[in-house]
Amino acid sequence: MSDKTTPTPRPGIMDITPYVPGTSEIAGGKPVIKLSSNETPLGPSPKALAAFAGADELARYPDGSAAKLREAIAERYGLNPARIVCGAGSDELLGLLAQAYLGPGDEAIYTKHGFLVYRIAILANGATPVIAPETECRADVDAILGKVTGATKIVFLANPNNPTGTYLPFDELQRLRKALPGQVLLVVDAAYAEYVRRNDYEAGLELVATTPNTVMTRTFSKVYGLAALRIGWCYAPAAIADVLNRIRGPFNVSAPAIAAAVAAIGDAAHMEKAVAHNEEWLAWLTEKIEALGLTVTPSVANFLLIHFPDKEGLRASDADAALTANRILLRRVEGYGFPDALRMSVGTEDENRQTLAVLKAFMERGGSLS
């Protein structure tokens, strides 16, 4: 008879390092400039805010199939709504895919600096995470393929990647899918796809449409400004959509979130305004920060990764302290394998200029905080 007095979690659970989001507050109660979570500085569409406010039947369960939202997404992208599955953020959908296709003895691959939620989802289902090296902070197709074994069941690929902002062009994405064994599910996490303005980029819809073993996930948390509502979606082959609909919660997306998302995706003008703002200030920040003598990883998303010298007083931790002292929050990224870097979300014009001014003063005085 066992002498244990507490339940034991399944193998892998206790190997998970809990996800730590970007810092949101600084003691003192004064306003902060929060550029730590890749949120849009323009906020949500006014139409989305009005739809959210109008969703007042709070005593009623939402439509469990999120039909209106799936139809709105399908109309926007020319998709089959039956192959769209909505979730509480794309994080839930990533977890459901791991739950459906991973178990003890299985392996799943993600890249060295990939989104930390992949590792959590893999371990939570008793599978083994396998890390593929990157080349110049970018996913490397050959490195991923080199990690594939008979036990591989999923490859998770953020494209663009967080926190680097780098991406794989579509021909490389196609090459990866073609070279992967048929039983390996390729999950393309395209959370930042709307921001990308490169001719060689494709979010993954074409691969999903033409292969039986690719899923693309998207979110309303970024360019649409609905992070607080936790809403995302995926496009999947019919058989995989059927699997996800069998295991997701019956009412996993709230009625206010559905209403706001339908309005948001219908307001193309607001989205384009957000993208144009990002394109202008991403380039401006990259140029100005590099002029300070710092290195910036080229980004196509709404954030940039700033690398600091490995030198006493000038390290990322020193810069973070200087910024925090000025009530500016960037993202520490040690957990992603970048102890000497900070990730900065693109903010409003005023936020971008204030942040640059602090970084400029920090570098000019050799990192001294006095």
Tell me, what's the pLDDT at 369?
Answer: 47
Q: Which CATH number fits domain 13-43+269-364: 3.90.1150.10, 3.40.50.720, 3.40.50.2300, 3.90.550.10?
A: 3.90.1150.10
In whole angstroms, what is the distance from residue 314 CA to residue 342 CA? 12
**Range scoring the smallest mean pLDDT among 171-180, 240-249, 284-293, 361-370:** 361-370
Q: Tell me the Ramachandran region of residue 45: left when phi exceeds 0, alpha when psi lies from -120 to 50, beta otherwise.
A: beta
Q: Which tens digit of pLDDT belongs to each residue from 2-21? A: 567 888 888 888 888 887 77
Q: Which residues of 126-148 are buried (b: 16+ CB within 10 A; e: fewer)?
A: bbbbbbbebeebbbbbebbbebb
Beta strand spans in 288-370 (E): 295-297, 303-307, 328-329, 331-332, 341-345
> Is pLDDT of 89 > 70?
yes
Q: What is the mean pLDDT of residues 253-282?
A: 98
Average pLDDT, the chain: 95
Domain boundaries, the chain: 13-43+269-364, 47-267
Give burial (CB, 10 Å; 0-12/13-18/19+) of 182. Answer: exposed
Q: Which tens digit of pLDDT belongs to each residue from 99-158? A: 999 999 999 999 999 999 999 999 999 999 999 999 999 999 999 999 999 999 999 999
Tell me, what's the pLDDT at 2?
Answer: 54
Residue with the bigger pLDDT between 336 and 2: it is: 336
Q: How many CB atoms lie within 10 A of CB 218?
A: 26
Tell me, what's the pLDDT at 3?
Answer: 62
CA nearest neighbour of 348 among 289, 292, 283, 278: 278
CATH of domain 47-267: 3.40.640.10
CA nearest neighbour of 275 among 48, 40, 77: 40
Tell me, what's the pLDDT at 368?
Answer: 57
Tell me, what's the pLDDT at 128?
Answer: 97
pTM: 0.94
Q: What is the mean pLDDT of residues 227-254?
A: 97
Identify whether the C-beta of residue 233 lies closer than 8 Å to the C-beta of residue 21: no
Tell me, what's the pLDDT at 10?
Answer: 85
Question: 242 pLDDT band (50/70/90 cuts)?
Answer: very high
Tell me, what's the pLDDT at 370?
Answer: 43
Tell me, what's the pLDDT at 31?
Answer: 86
Q: Which tens digit of pLDDT belongs to each residue from 52-87? A: 999 988 999 999 999 999 999 999 999 999 999 999
Structure tokens at 163: 């926190």
Beta-bridge mates of residue 198: none
